[in-house]
Amino acid sequence: MTHDRELDDLLGTLAEHRYFLRRTAEGLTEEQARLRTGASELTVGGTIKHCVAQERIWTDFLVRGAAAHDLQPDAFAAQFVLGQDETLAGVLAEMDEVAAATEALVRSFADLDTDIALPTAPWFPQGARWSRRKVLVHLLAELAQHSGHADVVREGIDGAKTMG
């Protein structure tokens, strides 16, 4: 597989999962975007905000390495909540901005094999390194998992489903 084809496949799949996440929010009011529908703290708007924040952090990791992961627990928890000054339209616009920045950054790489040391954290093996490719695959998994979460929350709001 050529480098360009691999980039097209990875970036295309990221775009597809962003589309599913965006579709989950279609037609929601600001109140509905903040609504919890079960025991979980997750909301559609908060889940989108988290995905945007994680994509920003992981693409920053591709540039700055482990320093990009200097996130305090309170800041991490805040990623899942739309603040009073935030809107669903605003986080969707941020998602578009981050997506464009991700695409430009990834297309600037000569290869995806370059690896980067992960930060010291209990959830990463000591001394672990990830390739740029692994980071992109991780972002795909993050988006796919949280798109599913948002879909379940949305179904609880009004029965709408992203797929099917």
Q: pLDDT tens, 90-149?
A: 999 999 999 999 999 999 999 999 999 998 888 889 999 999 999 999 999 999 999 999
- What is the rounded distance in angstroms from the CA atom of residue 104 to the CA atom of residue 81? 28
Render pLDDT for 40-83 as a digit per residue (tens, 0 to 9).
Answer: 999 999 999 999 999 999 999 999 999 888 767 678 888 999 99
- What is the rounded distance in angstroms from the CA atom of residue 126 to the CA atom of residue 120? 7
Give the largest CA-CA distance in the chain.
Answer: 47
Q: Looking at domain 3-158, which CATH architecture does it have?
A: Up-down Bundle (1.20)
Alpha-carbon separation of residue 30 from 27, 35, 119, 138, 140 (angstroms): 10, 9, 36, 30, 27
What's the gap between Cα 13 and its chain centre?
13
Q: What is the total residue count of the chain? A: 164
Nearest to 17 by CA among 159, 157, 163: 163
Are 86 and 136 in contact by the 8 Å Cβ rule? The answer is no
